[in-house]
Amino acid sequence: MSGLVHIVGFVGPEEDSGAAAVLAAASASAEVDMIIENGSPWPDFDHGSIDWRARLSGAHWLALSSSTILESDSARSAQGAGMTFAEFEGARVIMVVDMPADEERLAEAWGHVIERIRQIHILFLSTEVLPRIAALEGMAPGDLQHQIRLRGMVPQVCTFDADSKTLRVEHALGSISGRASAESEAEWIARYICKLPESGTGTDGIKVASGLV
Q: Domain segments of the chain: what residues? A: 6-210
Using an 8 Å Cβ cutoff, are 68 and 79 in contact?
A: yes
pLDDT averaged over every residue in the chain: 91
- Residue 41 CA, chain-centre distance (Å), reads 23
Q: What percent of the chain has pLDDT over 90?
A: 77
pLDDT at 74: 85
Tens-digit pLDDT profile for residues 65-122: 999 889 888 889 999 999 999 999 999 999 999 999 899 999 999 999 999 999 999 9
127: helix, coil or strand? coil
SS3 content of the chain, % helix, strand, coil (to 5): 45, 20, 30
Mean pLDDT confidence for 137-145: 96
Size of the chain, expressed as the number of residues it contains: 213
Tens-digit pLDDT profile for residues 27-45: 989 999 988 655 556 666 6
Give every strand in the sheet of 6-10, ordered side by side: 31-35, 6-10, 61-65, 92-97, 122-125, 156-161, 166-171, 174-179
pLDDT at 80: 93
The CATH number that domain 6-210 falls under is 3.40.1190.20
